[in-house]
Every structure is written in C-alpha cells, then in structure tokens.
Structure 1
C-alpha cells in the first residue's frame, strides 16, 4: 500500500518529504475542531502489509470527554483519542503554542515497549497549533502507515518511543522538534507548535 500521508523530518538526516498539503485559516480566538480539514502527503511504501488494517474514519463522539487538556504559553488544546470505531478529536483554542514538548498517554496499551529505532505502524492526525488546521491525517484516509522512528521529526519519535504497542498518545511539540524552518507545502510556518494524536498499532525492532 502506498499511503499519501507523511511526516517530514526536520533534521538534515531525516529523509521523508512532503508532497502537497491543504490548510485552513481561522481567527486567533476561534476554537477549531481538527476533524473537518483534509490534506495529502507522501510516505515511502510501508514495510509491512497494511491492507487488512484500517484507521477509523467516523467522527468522534461530540459528547466524549477530552482525555488531555493542556494550556500552552498561548492558547490551549483538548485531545480525545481514537477508539475502535471513531477518529480522534483535537480541539484548538488558537493560537496554541508550547515552550517545551509534552507527551500524554491517552490510553495505555498492553503490547511490547517501542524502541527508539523501531519501525512502527500507526494511525495519526497532525494539527497546527497556530490555526487549528489538520495538515495530515491517516484517519481521513482510513489506512495506517508504517515508518522507522529514526526517519521522522524528533517530536513524533519522542511521543512513541517508550510507549507500549496498543497505546493511544498525544504530543504537543515545540518547533525545534517539528519543523523549525516551516513546511510551506503543509501550511506550517517557522515557529508553529504542532499537535499529534497517535494510535500505535504495531512495532518491529
């Protein structure tokens, strides 16, 4: 399966590249739900067969209580992790920013611990804290992607390494752990704080 999703490495050693992306602009004071924006990216072909797996595409329950509420240096976020039948929700009071990368385990898994150099199979949603727009989502495409953790932005690696397979996690990352120079094709500007909601489906050493 060749996915149209990607997370591009900010460091020079990272090789994954963005292809194209859409974004949405909102006012700074507006609360934005991430479940309404569409995008497209490119990842290398996955190392494992993901045809039998799927990421839920249904909208999350509007009445579900957030599992992580975080006030930033500016703005705030509320994150509700995905379930077996529904995608996650990331609500942003924009502009949201943090001064240090923060990781939250929303639902712990019971699988093996993920190593720093593992190849992982995940469903994920990426949200720009500046305006609340979704810049990438495998949930919108309905299919997971896999990639080595040493080939993604540092903040994504920090979110997953050390977690157990089966866990649902979220991360709010400083620009240095994401795209310090920005990614214009993704609508990401220098200085943007990024938020990811991630479901870890599998990992191999």
Structure 2
C-alpha cells in the first residue's frame, strides 16, 4: 500500500483526466522529491519565458495521412510497431501488432530539429502520444487535447527522458519503453498493467 501511495505522490498530471506521466521513483535524487504534482497547463517553473514555447502553443489534431510511410518499424521480443511522426499539420500514428514488448528501451529520431540540444535536466515543452504495447490502445495524447505539455525532464519516467535528452529542439522522436523504464507497477488510471511495454511518439517544441 505504501508503494502505491508513493507512486501517486510522485505522479505528474499531464491532463485534467486520469492520464499520467509518472515521475521518477527509486532512482530519483533528494532534490527531485521537491517536485510537486503539477496540473496540466501549469507553467510554474516551466519554460514560460521562452519565445519558442510561446510560439508553439498547440499540437496538431488532424489525423495522419493513412498512406504515410512509417518512419520507424521495430520488431519487438513479441509483436511489432510502425510509427509515422507528427508534422506541422498532423498528429503521429503508432500502429501496433499486439502484444508488443521490448526487453530494452529503444529510441529512434524520426526528424532532426535545428534547435539546441536538450539537456538531461531541461524544462521541456512537447506534444506526445502514448500507446500501450499490450493492446495497442492510446492511453494519453496531447495531440488529442491540442495543447503541449511542459515539465522538468528529470521528473518523468526514465524511458520518456531517454527519448528526449540529447535530442535537438524541433525534433520528432519515438521510443519503445520497457516496463522497468515506464510503469513497473502499472498505472491503473491509464489502463497500464505491470509488465506493459509502452510506445511514445514525441515532438520537442522547446527546452530551457
């Protein structure tokens, strides 16, 4: 029970709904524990002074081109995925041959941005969608909401951080995340069970 309560207190709310991106847990430092649960849309401590963040205030909501060629295909330990990254006018697409799982987190840069390199501890603004490899369902999407999310990169699940840190602003990336780098104990509010591998498609809008 204590572990469940700890997880809840270490969770960053990315929307007013139950969809979540979990803050780092056992490997977090003492300084991380000061990070409070942050409602969606909050700019406290985020890159509110960034002109790039102000300009990139929306996520495209249009469906991707159904005939688009996948920019990344990956055979997992079970199943496979095909990812088409987002564009200025369309959301990404993640097609899953379920159940999909990986034993090691894998990151793919879909398009390279021309902005600065993102530091491990940057405050970032991103558009993203998260898909459960077990059944191919989308458990969270800022594209559906039409608005990006801002958060400290050293305060999210390891797989999400691995996908973004070291990339350049303006890039689109995809990541297949192991359960250990995602939600090892599951996240019932998002329909994630222990052992589920996850896939994220991400557009990096700004970092500071």
| TM-score, reference length from structure 2 | 0.81
Q: What are the superposed Cα offsets for residues 32-87 of structure 1, whole Å, 9 maximum, x if unpaired? A: xxxxxxxxxx5471224567511000000001100000000000000000000000
Residues 150-181 of structure 1: per-residue CA shift (max 9 Å, x gap): 11000000000000000000000111100000
Structure possessing the higher relative contact order (Cα contacts under 8 Å, 6 or more residues apart): 1
Question: Following the alignment from structure 2 to structure 1, what is the Cα–Cα distance between the partners of residues 20 and 98?
Answer: 24
Question: In 2, are the aligned partners of 1:128 and 1:192 still within 8 Å (CA)?
Answer: yes
Match of residue 45, structure 1, among 42, 56, 60: 42
Segments of 5+ residues of structure 1 without an aligned counterpart are 19-41
Structure 1 residues 7 and 196 mapped into 2: Cα distance closer, same or farther (>3 Å)? same
Q: Which runs of 5+ in 2 are unaligned?
A: 1-13
Q: 1:80 matched to which residue of 2?
A: 84
**Structure 1 or 2: larger helix share?**
2
Q: Give the corresponding residue for 1:188.
A: 192
* Cα separation, 2, equivalents of 1:95 and 1:174: 13
Number of paired residues?
180
- Match status 1:7 vs 2:21: yes
Structure 1 consecutive aligned stretches of length 4 or more whose deviation exceeds 3 Å: 2-6, 12-18, 48-52
Q: Measure how far apart 1:17 and its partner are.
A: 5.9
Task: Work out whether residues 47 and 207 of structure 2, in 8 Å CA contact, stay in contact via their aligned partners in 1.
Answer: no
Q: Secondary structure at the match of 2:162?
A: helix
In terms of Rg, which structure is larger? 2
Deviation at 1:10, TM superposition (A): 4.9
- Over the aligned positions, Cα root-mean-square deviation in angstroms equals 2.0
The offset of 1:3, in angstroms, is 4.5
Q: TM-score, normalised by structure 1?
A: 0.82
